[in-house]
Chain A
């Protein structure tokens, strides 16, 4: 009797969370998968069963492959760099130095700014002719740049903004983790005669592994999720050179109003994120030391 009541209570406590999770995550995900098997309804033509047609379109859609390639490049470029910079910054501001609070704040500022504002700031850097980069370049006698307007450099321009924005955010996690490492460990190592590098490699880094796992999952998810700045910086151009998967989904679903194909692309994104998240847990779990 008591046992049953315990169960009921537990479920009741879980209900609010479940309701929101199901209503706003699971149901939409299932509806998306379901919609990807239909054609897009238009005012004059209702949706009809399409089977795998949308997926066939996807496989033969050159833009899809292009944005996928861009997204892979974007992830490979932004994730390790932003995590590496975050770690270096955290180590730097974790020690005693003059104006530490100020430096920490400076590093963290990009995180507080909304992405759209960040993009606008960078727009001011990038603008050919009278942007900051070109003004400095002109003072040094260099010619005009057009980073966002060239197919070869547009994606890199977007990546730099992402790294700038993300590193400060990840730094906070590293900083918090660094402060939980007991100083006694470092002192003990010192007594044993370990140098700075050895301490970092054998003590700090392993103890930071849970944080690295957390941060890297976040970074991976963000590399698929953060596209706000693309709207401001390049609009995905030129010729989709800086378009990412999620940006393309938005274009297809809310500019072209091809919601069925948008759903199909979303299914692909969902699948990717699931595989990556599971893979990361499995891969990292062995090397993470939880305390």
Chain B
């Protein structure tokens, strides 16, 4: 431990003393969206790479949230100062293509080994990373929503603490038992919490997938917001608070959700696997992690960020960036990253390492997200993605807060989205 620290320190020192020694300079933007040691881990992995590879200097720049990161990358690119590499939401693929900022990884994956590497990721993660037969994103900080449940609350409600709800109906049924009211009828513990602030579409996409409907086509120019199955899914979500009264009414804060779970405000919550380490460290009770309940099928969206290779990079820089991405996705590095955050390691090989096996044996919850991947679909992503999802989010919010019926809200959203996507067809 001391040796590695020392080595890293000397490397860093040598590096600081002679920056000109590096033949290739890279700048790399990364966002942090969850609690835990995400930023430190990225920094230390980058340092390790630089220490092990002579002639390459990588400046890892923490750029705020996902939103901030894409905004900064776009602004920098417009100023002719784009980073060579950035982690950006997988769903921003079409936006980045539209801005003509990124290049496919295929260009640099010429050897058979590199091609195998490109094919080595879970297909569910690649759905959001490829279009037109090219790979533009390499999965890195990827997640999927899962169900967390409070085993003590389950026991107190007379439910089996080891069995989470497997279907929509079961979730309502259990939710009713888990919703606790005080003497004056005020709720002290809600059955379930599906946060709806900021980007409600993501968790909602869990419901639509379970109802066996896909929200957008692979070309990113067509959406199916007003499909009857989507309406049905939204009705279910609205009814959780409206008619079943197992979830708090109104918009539910995403950020406060883990805290509400720790405080016993909700007995079950839907949130990202990226929160796994956070929940493990902070939940004052025994908790379980399960797949989202099924309806017509099992299902969940994937989410999170990919590596993108920017076009402005010189040939040398792009090669170095490619090599760095390849290195960081290797099982050893990937395992470190997954253990530090809870993000799903995007390649099956990582799960075969001794480190990961030992970790999973001790903390089996990490396997849930991986196993759910076979049921997962691409996260909603279209051209003008931010705008189209924002329309969809507004529609969901309008239905959740009772401003419009599900049918009406989604019909309006479809019309608006169609108007925006028309030029891309």
Contacts and interface: CB of A to CB of B under 8 A. Distances in A.
A142 B186 CA distance: 7
A130 B263 contact: yes
- What are the nearest 4 A-B pairs in CB distance? A43-B100, A149-B251, A149-B250, A238-B397
A84 interface: no
A129 interface: yes
A149 B101 contact: no
Contact of A237 (B251, B384, B387): B251
B117 to A, nearest CB: 28
A239 B198 contact: no
Given A44-B98, A146-B248, A149-B197, A239 B398 contact: yes
B397 A257 contact: no
A256 B100 contact: no
Contacts of A148: 251, 253
Contacts of B384: 256
23 contacts: A43-B100, A44-B98, A44-B99, A63-B394, A129-B260, A129-B265, A130-B265, A143-B184, A146-B248, A149-B249, A149-B252, A149-B253, A150-B250, A151-B398, A234-B197, A235-B197, A238-B401, A239-B395, A241-B401, A256-B387, A257-B95, A257-B99, A258-B387
A255 B391 CA distance: 13
Interface residues of A, number: 31
A128 B393 CA distance: 21
Given A138-B186, A237-B197, A254-B71, 20 more contacts: A42-B98, A43-B99, A43-B100, A63-B394, A127-B256, A129-B260, A141-B186, A143-B186, A146-B252, A149-B250, A149-B252, A151-B397, A151-B401, A234-B197, A238-B403, A239-B398, A240-B394, A255-B390, A257-B95, A257-B386
B101 A43 contact: yes
B50 interface: no
Contact of A257 (B74, B263, B393, B395): B74
The winner among B99, B400, B401 for most chain A CB atoms within 10 A is B401
Interface of B: 67, 71, 74, 95, 98-101, 184-187, 196-198, 248-253, 256, 259-260, 263, 265, 384, 386-387, 390, 393-395, 397-398, 400-403
Contacts of A150: 249-251, 401
B320 to A, nearest CB: 24
B197 A255 contact: no
Nearest to B403: A151
Contact of A239 (B256, B260, B387, B397): B397
Nearest to A147: B250
A251 interface: yes
A181 B304 CA distance: 62
B260 A255 contact: no
A165 to B, nearest CB: 21
Nearest to A143: B186
A144 interface: yes
B100 A44 contact: yes
A38 to B, nearest CB: 15
Contact of B390 (A43, A141, A142, A251): A251
A256 B386 contact: yes
Given A44-B98, A127-B256, A238 B251 contact: yes
Nearest to B189: A129
A181 to B, nearest CB: 48
Given A42-B100, A256-B390, A257-B386, A141 B251 contact: no
Contacts of A143: 184-187
A130 B196 CA distance: 18
